[in-house]
Structure 1
Amino acid sequence: MIEVTAALIRRADKILIARRPGRDELAGLWEFPGGKLEEGESPEECLAREILEELAITISVGEFFADSIYEYPSKVVHLMAFWAVWTEGEIKACAHDDVVWSSAAELREYTFAPADRPIVTKLIESVVK
């Protein structure tokens, strides 16, 4: 099982989402940015490192929000999502082909990677009444 982290980065009432690039096996699908844990790394350390690599910004990782386990044809992914605060830098899509600030209600308009979908559902249910 591959351990993966995801950041729920807030700005006012919006959350940052990112689209996987054309060369990726999940090309065109949206996700919460993050990445794979490396050996000896905590999920929080992983998330801070991955966000710096993928978006060129520094974040403060907050509390755990939710997780999901999804079995893709070639791997099983355990995705752990954490709230995060953007603390420094200018966002650059270094590993994605687009980034968007979306309200929880607007998340329904995007097609997310399968492992991210349970996180999307929980966000919508917890914010949209």
Structure 2
Amino acid sequence: MKQVTAAILTQGDHIFIARRKAGSNLAGKWEFPGGKTEPGETPEQCLVREMQEEFGITVAVGGFFEESIYHYENGTIQLLAYWTKWIDGEMTPTVHDDVQWVPIEELKDYEFAPADIPFVEKLRGGSSAI
């Protein structure tokens, strides 16, 4: 099982989501961005690295949000989501073709990757970073 991280990046009452670009695995699906942990790396370190690589921003990783285990055709992933805060840097997406800051109530209007759907449901149920 691959361990993958996801950032629940907030700005006011909006959540940051990104759409996977054409030609990538799950192209066109929205996700809470992150990536695969590398050997010897904690999930928190992975999120800091991935957000820098994929968006050019520095983030601070806060508390654990939720876990999702999903069985894709090419293998099972353990997706670990953490509350995340944008600290510095200019947003420059490199592996996504669209990004949005979305009010929580509008998350339902986006087609998410299957492993991310439980996070949408939990956020819409009223979970907060407090």
TM-score (norm: length of structure 1): 0.97
Q: Does 1:126 align with 2:126?
A: yes
Structure 1 gaps of 5+ residues are none
Matched, 1:12 2:1: no
- Which stretches of structure 1, 4 residues or longer, exceed 4 Å deviation after superposition? none
1:33 aligns with 2:33: yes
Counterpart CA distance in 1 for 2:73 and 2:60 is 33
SS in 2 for 1:123: helix
* C-alpha displacement of 1:82: 0.2
Task: State the percentage of identical aligned residues.
Answer: 51
Distance between the aligned counterparts of 1:109 and 1:93, measured in 2? 22
What's the CA shift for 1:7? 0.4
Larger strand fraction of residues: 2
Alignment gaps of 5+ in structure 2: none
Would you say how many aligned residue pairs link Structure 1 and Structure 2?
Answer: 128
Deviation at 1:94, TM superposition (A): 0.8
The within-5 A match list for 1:1-129 is 1-126=1-126
RMSD: 1.1
* C-alpha distance in structure 1 between counterparts of 2:106 and 2:28, whole Å: 17
Deviations, residues 40-75 of structure 1 (Å, cap 9, x unaligned): 000000000000001100000000000100000111
Mapped partners of 2:88, 2:66: distance in 1: 25
Separation in structure 1 between the aligned mates of residue 12 and residue 126 of structure 2, nearest angstrom: 16
Cα shift readout 1:56-103 (whole Å, capped 9, x = no counterpart):
000000000001000001110100000011000011111100100001
